[in-house]
Amino acid sequence: MSIRDFVILFLICAAWAFSTVLSKVVISDLNAPPLFYAAARFSLVALVCLPWLFPVPRPVWRIVTVGLCMGAGSFALVFIGLQTATPSATAIVSQLGVPITTVLSVIVLGEVIGWRRRLGILLAFSGTMVVMWDPEGVSASVGLAYVAASAVCASVGAIMMKQMSSVRPLQFQAWVGLVSAFPLILGTALFEEDVVARALSGGWTLVFAVLFAALVVSVCAHTMYYGLIKKYEANMIAPLTLMCPLITIGLGMWMTGDRLTPGAVIGSAVALAGVLLIAVRRNARLPISRAAMGGK
């Protein structure tokens, strides 16, 4: 990989990481409604990407389902989780998307995996469980349970996306934004209280967060990432995206005061080692399996 492309990939990972930490600040510290925040993000994505909406991908039901899984479902769950989960733990638990997608590729697509990726799956799940472990009992953090559910949702969407014919990156963003905005708007209207007052209290920080998440992350970073995937082998790109959770941990410690316990450090190391082991092995049927499943 050229130095220029590596710098681009680093900036992409940094944008994903900063977006996760910024979302934590907006949702937890500023008390912005998580469904409203997600609705605003995807409404803006749909508006900006509207020119790329056509031609309509076929079958329509599949792109709608993919959009709901990888957009509304995944982001609503992770934003709800960020109300109580730290950005650092969220970044690690989100990595469950990689082993879950690999497992689903075996079940749905008939992928055959060797012992190295089986070991990677085991390490990824084991390390994540250590991160999620509640030292006060046997239950996992409720917030991180939402993040784990988000990873499952995004993985289902990724598998369904693989079964479609080629969809251009901006066309994909247009459909994810379109099909996600309406259920999220309905969700915030039905389930969140004092939405207008809470949104206004977020001020310009909330506005900046929505603009950054929609334009920089969804439209620019994701599109550039898919450009790199087309240029290089996926098993070269995927391991490098592990920079994202590492940057998220650093930003989380700096911006939100995250504190890593020895158990969290060990669990994170084991989980990331497992993800790396999965990522460096060629996946014949599902070559594009991005870490963090959507770059929150």
pLDDT in tens, 185-219: 999 999 999 999 999 988 999 999 999 999 999 99
Residue 290: what pLDDT? 44
* Count helices and strands in the chain by DSSP H and E runs: 14, 0
Global pTM value: 0.88
What are 79's two structure tokens? Answer: 């934003």
Distances (CA, A) of 117 to 18, 236, 293: 29, 16, 18
Nearest partner of 80 among 192, 169, 158, judged by Cα: 192
Residue 81 pLDDT > 70, yes or no?
yes
What are 35's two structure tokens? Answer: 């469904």
Residue 282 pLDDT > 60, yes or no?
no
Q: What is the mean pLDDT of residues 251-279?
A: 87
Please state, in angstroms and rounded to a whole number, the distance separating the CA atoms of residues 77 and 143.
Answer: 9
Residue 134 pLDDT > 80, yes or no?
no
Please state, in angstroms and rounded to a whole number, the distance separating the CA atoms of residues 241 and 249.
Answer: 14
* Amino acid letter for position 88: S
Element spanning 246, H or E: helix 243-255
Please state, in angstroms and rounded to a whole number, the distance separating the CA atoms of residues 270 and 131.
Answer: 10
